C-alpha cells in the first residue's frame, strides 16, 4: 500500500491489489466472512440481498462445499462509498457529491501510465497447462436460479488486442463455463472487445483472450467504465493509481496478464466456433437476451494465486450495488463528455441507479441561449458515456437537483408540455439485452430527450415556484420543526 503525501483523514490510499483493498476495507469494518455457503444456491441468494441493501459489507465466502478451504468468492465489493473511494485512490471520508467532484478532477488530470512487464508475480503461484486445465477447479456460483450455467466471469475482465492498431482492451464481459476447458463470452455489439474480436475473425484468425477475475479494483472499475476507444484500461488504471500496473506475459498468447490478479484463463476464440450462451439474469432486471450462440474460448492455460478469490458481480434488478457505483462513476464521465463537446454551464449530471445507471439520465444546466437545453440533452444521449442502451434523458434547470428523482420528475411534470418538449432519436445503439425490444428486432432502440427546462422564450415569465426560499425554510424548520415530531 502506498499513501500519497498527506496523512490526514482525507488521505488517498493507493491499494496494491485486490488483497490489499480487502485488508483496507476490513480495517474500515466493512468485510464479513461466511463459511459453508453452497455455490449452487446460497452465494447467489446472499448476493441478491447484499446488492440491494445500502452500505452492506463486502462478503467473502470460504469453505464452500465441494471445494478446498481457501478457494473463495468475494461479492458486493462496492456497496459503500468508502470502498469505491479506496479502489480509486479518493478520500474515504468524501460524501457522494464530493466523490463525483473528486473523480472528475482526477479524470481531468489523468495521465495514462503503460504497464510494466515483470517476470514473476503471485498469479504464477499456480500454472496449469494443456490437460491440467480445469475451469471447474474454482467454486463458481450459480448466481440466479434461471441461469443457463455457472458464470465465472461477472466481476471480471476479458483482455484482447487490436490486430491492426496493437492496443490492448480490458472489458467486463460475462463468461459462462461450458466444460472443463471451454468457456463462452458475451460482448455487446459496439463494445471495444467485440470490435477487436471481430477484426481477428475477419482475418480468419483466432482471437487471443485472457479472462481475469479478482483483478486490482481500480483496473476492474476501468474495465467496466466507458474509457475512450484506443486507450488501454491497463494504462488508464496505471494513471488512476499513479504507478504502472505490473503484468506478466501470457505463456500462450503473449497478452499482458496482471501479475497480482487472482485467477486468469488464457486461450483463443476461433472464428465460427460458437455455443449456446445464457440465459443469464441481466442488469436491466430481466432475462431479455435469452439463450443465443456466442463465441467460445478454448482455455489453454489457467493461472491462479494460492487460495484464489473469484470476484463476483452478478447483475440484478436495479437499483443495486452495481447501478449505484456505476452511477457515481458514469455521471462523472458523462459530464466530462458533455463539457468536452462544448456544452456550457452544465450544473450537474446524474445517471440514475433505478435505470441501471444507463436508461435514465438527468442533466441540469443554466440556460444561456435558445437551443441550449436540447443541445445538452442530445449530446448526453449520444456521447460515449451515454450512448449505449440509454432510453430517457431529462434536462432540467439549475434550480433542480439532478440526483433527486422526485425533483427531476416534478420539473418534467410541470415545465415540459409533451407535444413540444420531447425529441425522439430513432435507431440508436441498443443491445440484445434491451427488454423493451422484441427478440426479432434487437439492435436498435430509440431515445427520448425530454426538455424539462422552463421554455427559453418565456423563462423569465414562468410562474414562480410555490416554495419558501432557503432562508425562510431554515427559519420555519427551526421555529416549527417540533410540530413534526411524534406527540
Ligand X SMILES: Cc1cc2nc3c(=O)[nH]c(=O)nc-3n(C[C@H](O)[C@H](O)[C@H](O)COP(=O)(O)O)c2cc1C
Please report, as ranges, the residues that interact with ligand X according to CB under 6 A. Answer: 154-155, 169, 171-174, 186-188, 191-193, 224-227, 313, 315, 322
Q: Which residues pair with 396 in a beta bridge?
A: 364
The tally of CA atoms less than 13 A away on the side-chain side of residue 176 is 25
Q: What does the block give as the cell for 114?
A: 503503460
| The three three-digit cell numbers of residue 455, written as one number | 421554455
- Is 366 within 8 Å of 398 (Cβ atoms)? yes
Contacts of 448 by beta carbon, 8 Å cutoff, 6+ apart: 391, 392, 393, 422, 423, 424
451 φ, ψ to 5°?
A: -85, 95
> Which grid coordinates are listed for 67?
471445494
Using an 8 Å Cβ cutoff, are 476 and 468 in contact? yes
**Helical pair 81-88 and 321-340, crossing angle rounded to 10 deg:** 50
User: If DSSP codes are grouped into helix, strand and coil, which group holds residue 55?
Assistant: coil
Q: How far apart are CA 403 and CA 364, in angstroms?
A: 10
CB 149 within 8 A of CB 178: yes
CB atoms within 10 A of CB 35: 10
Task: In whole angstroms, give the CA distance from residue 192 to residue 462.
Answer: 46
Coil, strand, or helix at residue 28? coil
Cis peptide leading into residue 114 (ω within 30°): no
- Identify the helix (H) or strand (E) that includes residue 24: helix 18-27
Give dist(CA 362, CA 146) in Å, integer: 33
| DSSP conformational letter for 453 | S
| The C-alpha cell that represents 397 in the structure block | 434547470
**How far apart are alpha carbons 480 and 487 in whole angstroms?**
14
Alpha helices in 110-187 (DSSP H): none
Counting beta carbons within 10 angstroms of the beta carbon of residue 412, is it exposed (0 to 12), middle (13 to 18) or buried (19 or more)? buried
**Any idea what DSSP says for residue 317?**
S
User: With contact defined as beta carbons under 8 Å apart, do 175 and 166 qualify?
Assistant: no
* Residue 213: partners with Cβ closer than 8 Å, 6 or more residues away: 152, 153, 154, 155, 156, 261, 262, 263, 310, 311
388 vs 456, beta carbon nearer ligand X: 388
Amino acid at each position: 500500500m502506498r499513501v500519497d503525501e498527506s496523512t490526514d483523514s482525507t488521505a488517498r490510499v493507493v491499494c496494491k491489489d485486490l488483497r490489499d483493498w480487502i485488508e483496507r476495507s476490513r480495517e474500515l469494518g466493512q468485510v464479513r466472512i461466511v463459511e459453508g455457503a453452497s455455490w449452487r444456491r446460497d452465494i447467489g441468494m446472499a448476493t441478491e440481498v447484499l446488492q440491494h441493501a445500502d452500505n452492506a459489507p463486502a462478503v467473502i465466502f470460504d469453505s464452500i462445499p465441494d471445494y478446498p478451504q481457501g478457494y473463495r468468492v468475494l461479492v458486493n465489493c462496492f456497496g459503500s462509498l468508502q470502498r469505491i473511494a479506496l479502489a480509486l485512490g479518493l478520500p474515504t471520508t468524501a460524501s457522494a457529491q464530493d466523490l463525483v467532484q473528486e473523480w472528475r478532477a482526477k479524470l481531468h488530470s489523468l495521465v495514462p501510465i503503460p504497464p510494466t512487464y515483470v517476470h514473476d508475480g503471485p498469479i504464477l503461484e499456480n500454472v496449469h497447462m494443456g490437460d491440467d486445465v480445469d475451469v471447474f477447479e474454482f467454486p463458481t456460483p450459480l448466481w440466479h436460479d434461471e441461469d443457463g450455467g455457472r458464470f465465472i466471469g461477472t466481476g471480471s475482465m476479458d483482455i484482447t488486442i487490436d490486430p491492426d492498431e496493437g492496443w490492448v482492451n480490458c472489458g467486463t464481459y460475462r463468461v459462462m463455463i461450458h466444460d472443463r476447458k471451454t468457456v463462452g463470452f458475451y460482448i455487446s455489439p459496439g463494445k471495444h472487445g467485440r470490435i477487436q474480436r471481430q477484426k481477428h475473425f475477419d482475418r480468419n484468425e483466432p482471437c487471443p483472450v485472457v479472462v481475469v477475475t479478482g483483478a486490482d479494483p481500480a483496473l476492474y472499475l476501468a474495465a467496466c467504465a466507458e474509457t475512450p476507444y484506443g486507450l488501454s484500461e491497463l494504462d488508464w488504471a496505471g494513471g488512476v493509481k499513479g504507478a504502472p500496473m505490473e503484468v506478466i506475459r501470457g505463456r500462450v498468447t503473449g497478452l499482458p496478464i496482471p501479475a497480482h490478479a487472482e485467477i486468469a484463463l488464457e486461450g483463443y476464440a476461433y472464428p465460427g466456433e460458437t455455443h449456446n450462451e445464457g440465459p443469464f439474469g441481466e442488469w436491466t432486471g430481466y432475462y431479455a437476451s435469452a439463450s443465443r450462440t456466442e463465441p467460445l474460448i478454448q482455455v489453454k492455460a489457467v493461472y491462479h494465486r494460492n487460495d484464489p478469490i473469484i470476484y463476483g458481480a452478478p447483475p440484478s434488478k436495479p437499483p443495486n450495488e452495481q447501478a449505484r457505483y456505476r452511477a457515481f462513476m458514469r455521471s462523472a464521465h458523462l459530464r466530462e463528455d458533455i463539457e468536452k463537446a462544448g456544452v456550457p454551464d452544465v450544473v450537474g449530471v446524474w445517471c440514475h441507479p433505478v435505470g441501471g445507471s444507463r436508461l435514465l439520465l438527468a442533466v441540469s444546466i443554466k440556460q444561456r441561449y435558445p437551443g441550449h437545453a436540447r443541445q445538452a440533452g442530445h449530446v448526453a444521449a449520444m456521447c460515449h458515456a451515454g450512448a449505449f442502451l440509454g432510453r430517457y434523458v431529462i434536462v432540467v434547470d439549475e434550480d433542480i437537483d439532478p440526483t433527486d428523482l422526485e425533483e427531476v420528475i416534478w420539473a418534467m411534470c410541470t415545465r415540459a408540455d409533451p407535444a413540444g418538449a420531447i425529441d425522439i432519436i430513432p435507431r440508436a445503439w441498443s443491445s440484445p439485452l434491451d427488454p423493451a425490444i422484441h427478440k426479432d428486432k434487437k439492435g436498435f432502440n430509440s431515445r427520448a430527450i425530454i426538455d424539462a427546462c422552463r421554455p427559453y422564450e418565456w423563462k423569465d415569465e414562468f410562474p414562480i415556484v410555490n416554495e419558501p426560499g432557503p432562508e425562510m425554510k431554515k427559519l420555519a424548520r427551526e421555529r416549527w420543526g417540533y410540530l413534526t415530531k411524534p406527540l
